[in-house]
Amino acid sequence: MSQYKSEFLKTLQTRGFIKQVTHETELDAYCMAGVPVAYIGFDATADSLHVGSLLQIMMLRHLQKSGGKPIVLMGGGTTKIGDPTDKEKSRPLLTNEQIEANIAGIKKAFEPFLTFGDGPTDAIMVNNDDWLGKLGYIELLREVGVHFTINTMVKQDTVARRLAAEQPYTFLEFNYLLMQSYDFLELFRRRNCRLQIGGSDQWGNIVGGIDLVHKADGGEVFGLTAHLITTASGGKMGKTADGAVWLNADRKSPYEYWQFWRNTEDADVGRFLRLFTELPLAEIEALEKLEGAEINKAKIALANAATTLLHGEVAAKESEAAAAAVFAGGGTADALPTVEIPSAELFDNYLVASAFTAAGLTESNGEARRLIKQGAAKVNDVTVSDQNAALSQADVVDGAIKLSAGKKRHALVKPA
């Protein structure tokens, strides 16, 4: 393990981010001299980022806190191709309108973590469609294509795996490496950006960009990747039975976000405290030593710290209080996810199964009925046994009806 001298690399190393680094000594020196500039690219495949992208966002935050300038690169251009990395089949192509709407939604996720502006260390957000969209095909082939060999490109893990499995790998996808590499060249020229950061699945693309900058402009640039995060049980980070854990509050409420962290597996608590919070390492080490039921204190600390970073301290405290109220079984809590249904509809033979689906606790009424059949569905903490049960005015307690799927997932239905 290298002993870095720069604050940025030391922070990433001690908190467990780093997997691969190019030119370690030179990068360390660059991070200590002046204002290091680094970027991470995010393709606009949805209208919000999810927890799986939080690792990259935290690295940009650490860069800014240690005196560097973060560049958030939105892939308005590359999204038109679709990143094939570690995908077993081609992504569906999005329209320009869908991509623009997704970028507008994604921007919200960065505002709690980074300070944007015109200052030397202020973060900026750029869109690679600004240059990729204007690039002629012949121009791309002459300026970029000449620096890449097919021999190297087919050795990339994604390409080799698809070819070995005799799965289609389109010429469109084959160009993604050239596009991402050209991004690095453009940011080097436009912003004097010399570091690209990404997940370890992006290593091949990052090295491609480093080679292009060196061959095209003789520039010395660097790459750094973080570990791809999976849970202790092997699950994908940010995926739950409910689906993706989105960062935007309109996709995942602060309470649901808090609950996601509160439900972290015991073996992951220390690692996640290092990666996804800014609690001091000494405090994290103390929390890691807790055993048995005491480990729940560490999980609550994780949930509070992670939720505070994204949604603010007030939302974190409200979520903790709501969870405590639900756990105690006493009444309802305003911080729970809430859906409003018109009274005329709600009290006209509205099925409990339909309410579970409307509240987002199940994906379909069929799934809700299976939940009821398993004895895992409750209305106001009372188990529902009839799959065709309907809600009534009598179920309204303190202005709402509390629904529970299992022990940990809850929502409110309010008559509108």
Contact 53, 42 (CB under 8 A): yes
Q: How far apart are CA 234 and CA 232, in angstroms?
A: 5
Give the pLDDT confidence score for residue 220 in this predicted structure.
97
Most confident segment among 174-183, 184-193, 364-373: 184-193
d(CA 290, CA 302): 13
pLDDT per position as a tens digit, 279-303? 999 999 999 999 888 999 999 999 9
What is the predicted pLDDT for the residue at 161?
82
pLDDT in tens, 358-371: 888 888 889 999 99
Percentage above 90 pLDDT, the chain:
49
**pLDDT tens digits for range 200-238:** 989 988 999 999 999 999 999 999 999 988 888 787 777
- The domain 7-226 is placed in CATH, from the list 3.40.50.620, 3.30.70.270, 3.30.1300.10, 3.40.630.30, at 3.40.50.620
Query: Is the pLDDT reported for residue 72 higher than 80?
Result: yes
pTM here is 0.78
**Segment of 228-232, 261-265, 299-303, 383-387 carrying the highest mean pLDDT:** 299-303
- Mean pLDDT over 133-159 rounds to 84
- How remote is the C-alpha of 275 from its chain's centroid? 13
State residue 339's pLDDT score: 84
Provide the 3-class DSSP secondary structure of residue 59.
helix
**Separation of alpha carbons 70 and 16, rounded Å:** 20
- Predicted confidence band at 85 (pLDDT cuts at 50, 70, 90)? low
Q: Which residue has the tokens 């660097």?
A: 222
Beta strand ranges found along 18-68 (DSSP E):
18-21, 37-43
CA pseudo-torsion sign 195, 196, 197, 201: negative
Task: Spell out the residues 6+ positions from residue 378 whose beta carbon is closer than 8 angstroms to its own.
Answer: 384, 402, 403, 404
pLDDT at res. 335: 66
**Regarding the domain delimited by 338-415, which CATH topology (the fold level of the hierarchy) does it fall under?**
3.10.290
- The CATH class given to the 253-328 domain equals mainly alpha
**Amino acid present at 41:** G
Beta bridge partners of 72: 40, 125
Q: For residue 122, what are its two tokens? A: 């202020």
Instruction: Please give the pLDDT value at position 173.
Output: 76
Residue 318: predicted pLDDT: 92
Instruction: With CA atoms as reference, report the closest residue to 307 among 241, 248, 261.
Output: 261
pLDDT for position 210: 97
DSSP string, 222-285: EEEEEPPPB-TTSPBTTEETTEE-BSSTTTS-HHHHHHHHHT--GGGHHHHHHHH----HHHHH
**Count of beta carbons in the 10 Å neighbourhood of residue 19:** 13
**pLDDT greater at residue 334 or residue 257:** 257
Higher pLDDT, 84 or 88: 84
DSSP state for residue 400 in the 8-state scheme: B
Distance CA 110, CA 312 (A): 13
Q: What are phi and psi for residue 96, nearest 5 degrees?
A: -60, -40
Cα–Cα distance for residue pair 252/297, rounded to 1 Å: 23
CA angle 122, 128, 130 (to 5 degrees): 100
Radius of gyration of the chain (CA): 24
Using alpha carbons, list the distances in angstroms from residue 404 to 32, 166, 343: 52, 46, 21
Percentage of residues of the chain with pLDDT beyond 70: 93
Q: Which residue has the higher pLDDT, 359 or 89?
A: 359
Are the CB atoms for 406 and 387 separated by under 8 Å? no
Q: What is the mean pLDDT of the chain?
A: 88
Q: How do residues 325-352 score in pLDDT, each as one tens digit?
A: 776 655 455 567 788 898 889 988 899 9
pLDDT of residue 84: 60
The answer to whether residue 254 scores a pLDDT higher than 60 is yes
Which pLDDT does position 263 carry in this prediction? 87
Write out the two tokens for 308: 């505070």
Question: What is the structure's pLDDT at 82?
Answer: 64
Domain ranges (residues) in the chain: 7-226, 253-328, 338-415
